Amino acid sequence: MDEGGSSVVATTLMRVAGLQKSYGGLCAVDDVTFDVLRGEVLALVGDNGAGKSTLVKALAGAQQPDSGSIEIEGQPVSLRTPRDAEAAGIGCLHQGLGLVDALDVPENVFLGRELQTKVFGLVPQLDHGRMRARTIELLDRFGIHLPKLNEPVMRLSGGQRQTVAISRLLLQDVRLVIMDEPMAALGVEEGRRVLDLVRSMREEGISVIVISHNLEHVFQLADRIAVMKNGKLIGVVETASTTRDAVVSMITFGQMR
């Protein structure tokens, strides 16, 4: 590495500077500056209304900030739409997941970018075989097991649906996955599977920003923890060198101890 040492130096994937978003008189995101490192899991925590969702919406092209800048790999990017974010390698899992209940797993994974084949070299038709094969490949790569690939996803459990939505993101060449409360509605076992999936994304070098109110999950999963309060970023701390009490205190009192 640059410093001549043998340790791996974390490199910056995304740099967010001076991000600002107001709704009327309310400053939902107030001059927020932070980095996302390559291959890290960064937890974003804070009380209800702290500004977490508003912040990640700006990073996912789902909402325009009033001001501030975002760089990826040192290049300024303008994320006006989710398509822009997708092109920049950012995938976002919003709370609704965006699945179509009546479609099966491969159809949901490929939603909006379906693979086609041509019958007799002429008539375009959906290539279900190839979509299924690519889906299985993708699920294998991340160690995901889904028993009912060909059934409408409405028959899947909450955790399995979550997995389908994540697979959809992984199909793109994502460098950053943003998850807004992915474990909120899941049972213990299903939550654990999503935690495992986040870990396998990290192993593949994908960075993950995960919003969660569950500090137990946060401490199990995150490399660093970012705390917001009243639109402000109070601080970003290394999980290994902080405590639950310190994080709770940051959330509650809005200052580092």
Ligand X SMILES: Nc1ncnc2c1ncn2[C@@H]1O[C@H](COP(=O)(O)OP(=O)(O)OP(=O)(O)O)[C@@H](O)[C@H]1O
Interface contacts to ligand X, rule CB under 6 A? 23, 26, 28, 46, 48-54
Contact partner, 120, from Mg ion, ligand X, none, Cβ < 5-8 Å per class: none
Nearer to ligand X, 52 or 224 (CB): 52
Contact partner, 28, from Mg ion, ligand X, none, Cβ < 5-8 Å per class: ligand X
Nearer to Mg ion, 53 or 163 (CB): 53
CA 1 to chain centre: 28
Beta-strand pair 123-126/12-23: unpaired
For 26, residues 6+ apart whose C-beta sits below 8 A from its C-beta are none
Residue 75 near residue 50 (C-beta atoms within 8 A): no
Nearer to Mg ion, 14 or 50 (CB): 50
Residue type, 44: L
Distance CA 237, CA 67 (A): 25
Nearer to ligand X, 51 or 159 (CB): 51
Reported for 247-253, long-range contacts at CB under 8 A and 24+ positions apart, including other chains, are 247/45, 247/215, 247/218, 248/215, 251/45, 251/46, 251/47, 251/50, 251/227, 252/47
| Minimal distance, residue 222 CB to ligand X, in Å | 16
Distance CA 41, CA 34 (A): 14
Contact partner, 54, from ligand X, Mg ion, none, Cβ < 5-8 Å per class: ligand X
| Minimal distance, residue 42 CB to Mg ion, in Å | 16
Nearer to ligand X, 172 or 230 (CB): 230
Nearer to ligand X, 54 or 135 (CB): 54
Contact partner, 91, from ligand X, Mg ion, none, Cβ < 5-8 Å per class: none
| Minimal distance, residue 73 CB to ligand X, in Å | 27
Handedness of CA 46, 50, 53, 58 (dihedral sign): negative
Contact partner, 254, from ligand X, Mg ion, none, Cβ < 5-8 Å per class: none
Residue, CB closest to Mg ion:
53
What are the start-end ranges of the H helices in 60-187? Answer: 82-87, 105-109, 128-141, 158-171
Contact partner, 23, from Mg ion, ligand X, none, Cβ < 5-8 Å per class: ligand X
| Minimal distance, residue 62 CB to ligand X, in Å | 11
